[in-house]
Structure 1
Amino acid sequence: MSLQGRTSPQAGASTQQARAATGRRTNVRWMLFVLLLVLVTVNYVDRGSISVALPLIQQEFGLSPQLTGLLLSAFFWTYALMQVPVGWLIDRFGPRKVLTASCVGWGAATAASGLTGGFLTMFLARMGIGVAEAGVMPAGGKLNAIWMHPKERGRGATILDAGAPLGAGVGGILISGLIALFGGWRTSFLIAGLATALLGIAVWWYVRDHPRQHRSVNDAEAEYIEASHRAEDEEAAAAGATTRRALLPYLKFRSFWAMCLGWLGFNGVFYGLLTWGPLYLSQAKHFKLASIGWSTFAIFGAGFVGELLGGLLADRLRAKGHGANAVMRSLLGISSAIVTLGLVGVTIVGSPLAAVALLSTVLFFLRWVGLFWSVPAILGGRTNAGVLGGAMNLAGNIAGMVTPIAVGFIVGATHSYTGALLYFVASAVIMGVAVLALDYSKRLPV
């Protein structure tokens, strides 16, 4: 079988042929997704760094709760607005180029945020981070469609998305540690930005748009992936759904809107805790900076573990023959119920440790909804996974735009976080309704 898109030397070709002759598949697809896990982790370290440093930034810049909420929302305005355009770019030019450009761009913008002198310049720097980071998750969704067998996409989706809680958790310790080490928040932002830009080199070196373009993939692994794609394509051809489409034809389907609303509700909870969680621990529970870092790690670290286990559980249930709808609706329905009840519990308990324990439980089950990153490929196939992933992330980041501002006004008006937590409860209810309404079993016939 010929290798497409490769110009490897003869020695490399001989090595690959030798591997193929053994009949054992290489596992490059999993290594690629480990790299994506690292990438998304760093993404969320940078994205959440402002939240950890916020008590210091709020004091230095003299920010009211309302201005604080506006500053926290700045990232999401440009991030959300870029989702559909960047999804089209991914489908058109491939995820590798978009991911590399994203790394370099958001690293530069993160470093620039460490040089800001006030609200306006920090607001603009955060908007710049939003533009640069916009392509990461839709590109990951596209790579999940291209590189993964359908039976592995649950794990692929959650490995990709697990970087979000891991980055939020690690970022809490890392940024607070850098602040303590250097005596201020600015140097921590500069260091984080430089590390991100360097990560772009690793992305360009290892990521490929198709398995056969990767020098370490043998024929057995490539054929394993391609055989599953052929079966998908035959099914899609029977439904007339193999052509690259714009977004408009999808708007008439319930599952498209359920996908978008599910992700919107999910991010109403997650981004609320990501942006305001550290300040909640500081102001409502009176945690010091070091305690905020470790508590954030515990809360979001639980989300990381939960997400990986959720993906593993979904794929195992599918492998046992359970249908897509039975698996996804049961897992995500349970997740939504526990998240809703856990958030209600946080409004009741008075103990700081009990609040951290409940929030850790909330994040553990909330992150099961990371399985949604397999949905764009289900509904649109490999061809349209980029634009559908962009639309889904656009909806999710509308919550990112609204939530920090809404929480800021609620806290400013009531001088309490109870109303903010009830806002998160409402978001969880929206998520629960949407995950049960979505049909996970077939591609949309557009």
Structure 2
Amino acid sequence: METIKRTHIRFTILPIILFITVLSFADRTAISIAGDAISNDFGINHITLGYIFSAFGWTYALAQIPGGMLVDKFGPKKIYTLLTFSWSILLIIHSVIDLVPAFIMVSVFIVLRAMVGVISAPMFPINSRVVAEWFPSKERAMATSVYTSAQYLSVIIFAPLIGVLSTTIGWQYVFLIIGCMMLILSFVWMGYFDLPNQHRFINESEKNYIQGNLDKSPNKQREKVVFDQNPIIQLLKNRMTLGIYLGQYCSAVTSYFFMTWFPVFLILEKGLTVAEAGFYTIFPAIGGFFGSLMGGIISDKFVQRGYSLTFSRKFPIILGLFISSTIFFTIYIDSVILVVMMMTAVLWGRGFSGLGWTLITETVPKSLIGINSGIFNTFSNMAGITAPIGIGILVEWTNSFFWPLVFVSIHCLLAIVAYVWIVSDLKELKFNYHVVEEK
């Protein structure tokens, strides 16, 4: 009997969500690297620049849970199509901010950043839902590490371009380029993506590989789950999931330092130009990119070799966070090269520890991944609010990056505490519910 060769459609879906996520972080990278130029153009101080950095984070965090609920209700295809199209239009509007009267320019720019935060909120809930639908458990850490590596890949690709454009024709043109690229990907997603059961190119062999031994009885569709208590409340009351949320918040402080203040740190503390800062930010991003991929691959290897899920996921997280906590030592280093090498190791550790999104897909049923992702990313992006503003205030008050770097280090150590002592064994959460038959 002839064996049907398995298709690999899941590996064509993954690059699409990777490239969309890369562009989303390119938007934030542009704000970060062009921060000094934006500050000069708008005539603002570091505290106001911190507000611009955090405007995205406020609405992004607040829209996470509603965004996750939309993903659960309408599915990844519709929401991602709407998201990417709207996002591209907003980024193109960024590029013509000079047309706004000067006395309201800063306010309008903050509003634009806030609107981008709302539109982009469902992105990671969609990504985690797509990975859960398209990848079996033994491949999920690898798949998750690919799209989470986008935050580093975006810096590698766009940092030099942003640095050059900021000092030549203007930082606004970066948003025009990113917006046009996002518009193209919006149409690619709309035309190609579907869930495994509806995708026109997948064969039964790959479907069976993805679904494993799941019960595919059609009678299941006639049952309706009714929760005894709101699932959001159940997630927030559970020690395991709450520990994951807190760990993600603390560890995300490192990411937001690099996404917002790191180029400014190189300019103010080490005396680099904008173009030089854009160049040197590439190297920590390369470290983060490879750390992210290595963390996912090694974690999956542990699972495949029979280690417990708890050990396989927690080991890379804790090791990576410990390495990231050494960031404050860079304040004592004068050499720019050594500082960049140290920061590369720090961001490698952050990438290596970035398995939180894998945990989100493994601790709840697929039907609740959107809500779980929304809560998780709400906590994560609270760091996008507190870190840029807190670091901006510390820099303005002390005229130094000593205390800001101590601030980042302490949060890395607190994240270790959360994952070691609050999160116990990793397992799928059992929700309180009952099943009724649909009419």
Structures share a fold, TM > 0.5? yes
- Say yes or no: does 1:66 pair with 2:19: no
Per-residue deviation, residues 415-446 of structure 1 (Å, max 9, x unmatched): 00111111111111122112223245311111
Query: C-alpha distance in 2, partners of 1:192/1:244?
Result: 43
TM-superposed deviation, 1:148: 1.0
Task: Write the mapping of 1:212-251 to structure 2, written as runs, cut at 5 A.
Answer: 212-230=197-215, 246-251=231-236
* TM-score of the two chains, using structure 1 as the length reference: 0.89
- Say yes or no: does 1:325 pair with 2:310: yes
Equivalent position to 2:29, from 48, 55, 78? 48
Residue in 2 that maps onto 1:265: 250
Runs of at least 5 residues in structure 2 that lack an aligned partner in the other structure? 217-224, 432-439
Per-residue deviation, residues 28-68 of structure 1 (Å, max 9, x unmatched): 11221121111111110012211111111111111111111
Equivalent position to 2:6, from 21, 25, 33? 25
Return closer, same or farther for 1:48/1:59 CA change in 2, 3 Å cut-off.
same
Return closer, same or farther for 1:126/1:242 CA change in 2, 3 Å cut-off.
same
Residue in 2 that maps onto 1:393: 377
Per-residue deviation, residues 122-159 of structure 1 (Å, max 9, x unmatched): 10111111111111111001111111101111111111
Query: C-alpha distance in 2, partners of 1:226/1:264?
Result: 32
Task: Write the mapping of 1:290-369 to structure 2, written as runs, cut at 5 A.
Answer: 290-341=275-326, 343-369=327-353
Q: Which secondary structure does the structure 2 equivalent of 1:334 belong to?
A: helix
Return closer, same or farther for 1:66/1:254 CA change in 2, 3 Å cut-off.
same
Return closer, same or farther for 1:153/1:426 CA change in 2, 3 Å cut-off.
same
The letter for the 2-side match of 1:202 is: V
Query: C-alpha distance in 2, partners of 1:135/1:113?
Result: 21
Per-residue deviation, residues 189-234 of structure 1 (Å, max 9, x unmatched): 22221221221111112221x2121112111000111125449xxx
Per-residue deviation, residues 93-141 of structure 1 (Å, max 9, x unmatched): 1011111111112211122222224211110111111111111111001
Percent of pairs identical after alignment? 26
Return closer, same or farther for 1:217/1:445 CA change in 2, 3 Å cut-off.
same
- Say yes or no: does 1:152 pair with 2:136: no
Do 1:378 and 1:440's aligned partners in 2 also have CA atoms closer than 8 Å?
A: no
Residue in 2 that maps onto 1:211: 196
Do 1:28 and 1:217's aligned partners in 2 also have CA atoms closer than 8 Å?
A: yes
Do 1:243 and 1:383's aligned partners in 2 also have CA atoms closer than 8 Å?
A: no
Task: Write the mapping of 1:104-119 to structure 2, written as runs, cut at 5 A.
Answer: 104-116=85-97, 117=100, 118-119=105-106
Do 2:163 and 2:276's aligned partners in 1 also have CA atoms closer than 8 Å?
A: no
Do 1:211 and 1:217's aligned partners in 2 also have CA atoms closer than 8 Å?
A: yes
Runs of at least 5 residues in structure 1 that lack an aligned partner in the other structure? 1-19, 232-239
The letter for the 2-side match of 1:86 is: G
Equivalent position to 1:191, from 156, 177, 189? 177
TM-superposed deviation, 1:289: 2.4
Residue in 2 that maps onto 1:143: 130
Residue in 1 that maps onto 2:356: 372
TM-superposed deviation, 1:267: 1.1
Q: Which secondary structure does the structure 1 equivalent of 2:272 belong to?
A: coil
The letter for the 1-side match of 2:212 is: A
The letter for the 1-side match of 2:254 is: V
Q: 1 or 2, which has the higher helix percentage? A: 1
Q: Which secondary structure does the structure 2 equivalent of 1:74 belong to?
A: helix
Query: C-alpha distance in 1, partners of 2:170/2:52?
Result: 19
Query: C-alpha distance in 2, partners of 1:321/1:295?
Result: 41
Residue in 2 that maps onto 1:9: none
Query: C-alpha distance in 2, partners of 1:350/1:246?
Result: 51
Return closer, same or farther for 1:149/1:24 CA change in 2, 3 Å cut-off.
same
Query: C-alpha distance in 2, partners of 1:94/1:439?
Result: 31
Q: Which secondary structure does the structure 2 equivalent of 1:350 belong to?
A: coil
Residue in 1 that maps onto 2:260: 275
Do 1:145 and 1:153's aligned partners in 2 also have CA atoms closer than 8 Å?
A: yes
Return closer, same or farther for 1:45/1:228 CA change in 2, 3 Å cut-off.
farther
TM-superposed deviation, 1:79: 0.5
Do 2:322 and 2:349's aligned partners in 1 also have CA atoms closer than 8 Å?
A: no
Which moves more between the two structures, 20-29 or 270-279? 20-29
The letter for the 2-side match of 1:51 is: S
Query: C-alpha distance in 1, partners of 2:203/2:425?
Result: 31
TM-superposed deviation, 1:268: 0.8
Query: C-alpha distance in 1, partners of 2:236/2:303?
Result: 28
Return closer, same or farther for 1:139/1:244 CA change in 2, 3 Å cut-off.
farther
Q: CA RMSD in A?
A: 2.0
The letter for the 1-side match of 2:166 is: I
Which moves more between the two structures, 303-312 or 290-299? 290-299
Q: Which secondary structure does the structure 1 equivalent of 2:428 belong to?
A: coil
Residue in 1 that maps onto 2:434: none
Which moves more between the two structures, 243-252 or 193-202? 243-252
Do 1:244 and 1:383's aligned partners in 2 also have CA atoms closer than 8 Å?
A: no
* TM-score of the two chains, using structure 2 as the length reference: 0.91
Query: C-alpha distance in 2, partners of 1:105/1:410?
Result: 35
Query: C-alpha distance in 2, partners of 1:252/1:345?
Result: 37
Per-residue deviation, residues 335-393 of structure 1 (Å, max 9, x unmatched): 1111112x132122121111111111111111123211111221112111110011000
Query: C-alpha distance in 2, partners of 1:84/1:125?
Result: 21
State the aligned residue count. Answer: 416
Query: C-alpha distance in 1, partners of 2:68/2:248?
Result: 16
Query: C-alpha distance in 1, partners of 2:230/2:363?
Result: 12
Query: C-alpha distance in 2, partners of 1:207/1:244?
Result: 34
TM-superposed deviation, 1:23: 2.8
Do 2:56 and 2:113's aligned partners in 1 also have CA atoms closer than 8 Å?
A: yes
Query: C-alpha distance in 2, partners of 1:168/1:387?
Result: 29
Q: Which secondary structure does the structure 2 equivalent of 1:212 belong to?
A: coil
Equivalent position to 1:435, from 408, 419, 437? 419
Which moves more between the two structures, 432-441 or 273-282? 432-441
Do 1:104 and 1:200's aligned partners in 2 also have CA atoms closer than 8 Å?
A: yes
